[in-house]
Amino acid sequence: MELLSTPHSIEINNITCDSFRISWAMDVGDLDRVTHYFIDLNKKENKNSNKFKHRDVPTKLVAKAVALPMTVRGHWFLSPRTEYSVAVQTAVKQSDGEYLVSGWSETVEFCTGDYAKEHLAQLQEKAELTAGRMLRFSVFYRNHTKEYFQHVRMHCGNVMKPYLKDNSGSHGSPTSGMLHGIFFSCNTEFNTGQPPQDSPYGRYRFQVPAQRLFNPNTNLYFADFYCMYTAYHYVILVLAPKGSPGDHFCRERLPQLDISCNKFLTCSVEDSELVFRHAQDVILEIIYTEPVDLSLGVLGEISGHQLMSLSTADAKKDPSCKTCNISVGR
């Protein structure tokens, strides 16, 4: 049988967090002969090309020949924000069950995308099942070291400035490495209604009245739901003043929440006053997208311990947790 031409001119497009479309060129005479495609997909960090012989090692991806471009989809082998290399080989299945195969194409590299809004909506639904009842609170707080607050006062005009979010949480979160903000907490102890006296981030705490950051002129967005191989879970929310750059960023990428009616963090008017509540059974991490002047609140030292083991800085999500994972790239 006449040999097959080697596929060439690979094109990758329509890339999502767990799929991509691929096409390539081959000789016109092969179009009616080819019965199967073999696709060799490798994470870029694996420097071994891992090419296989079709008779000796099962192909990673085998597809019956269809019109190109074709969609490759699968959360079990594609992860968000991950660089891959891909090469293709065409084949004709012969009457004896053996394959006549082409040479391997050139290798092309691409990077998968972030979670889309529909994926984050699935995470949100899972988080809502875990959130628990709502407790009242009155302040947002930020713990850090004494040196951090001294730097803010001496070199930043007394203003805490937004910084780029790290890669903690879900690997596919569109906020990681993209959104600027300041992390705050709001969880309270059940028995006292006050912020806990322990913190993983430092012994100094800045507290600001909740209405300074969260009010009817603020939009609220759901950003992530994750755990770190522990029984307790974290929910990341974003507070962005309406019309701010952070608000525009989130509106395009994150599910927006009703500030007065959601399962995580609410601001509502009761008896002509703003009342604030947070979910009891998850740890909320609040990203405020604008600078915050220390004059808006009070700074003091906490009496508890600095529990470094609870820090979520660059924390990696447990990909095996059934509570906080969805059926797309982890």
- Give residue-wise pLDDT tens across range 178-225: 999 999 999 998 888 899 888 888 899 999 999 999 999 999 999 999
Q: Identify which of 123, 113, 264 has the alpha carbon closest to the alpha carbon of residue 178.
A: 113
Which helix (H) or strand (E) segment holds residue 43: the answer is strand 36-43
First to last CA, the chain: 44
- Give residue-wise pLDDT tens across range 62-103: 899 999 999 998 866 788 998 999 999 999 999 998 999 999
Is the per-residue pLDDT at 317 higher than 80? yes
Average pLDDT score over the chain: 90
- Give residue-wise pLDDT tens across range 268-296: 999 999 999 999 999 999 999 999 999 99
CB of 57 closer than 8 Å to CB of 14: no
**157: region left, alpha or beta (phi > 0 left; psi from -120 to 50 alpha):** left
- Give residue-wise pLDDT tens across range 118-129: 999 999 999 999
The pairing of beta strand 83-93 with beta strand 108-111? antiparallel
Q: In the chain, count of helices (H) and strands (E)? A: 4, 22
CB of 20 closer than 8 Å to CB of 77: no
The pairing of beta strand 283-288 with beta strand 234-241? parallel
Query: What pLDDT does 45 receive?
Result: 63
DSSP category for residue 39: E
Query: What pLDDT does 181 receive?
Result: 98
The pairing of beta strand 265-270 with beta strand 108-111? unpaired
Q: Identify which of 62, 17, 9 has the alpha carbon closest to the alpha carbon of residue 328.
A: 17
Distance of CA 32 to the CA centre of its chain: 43
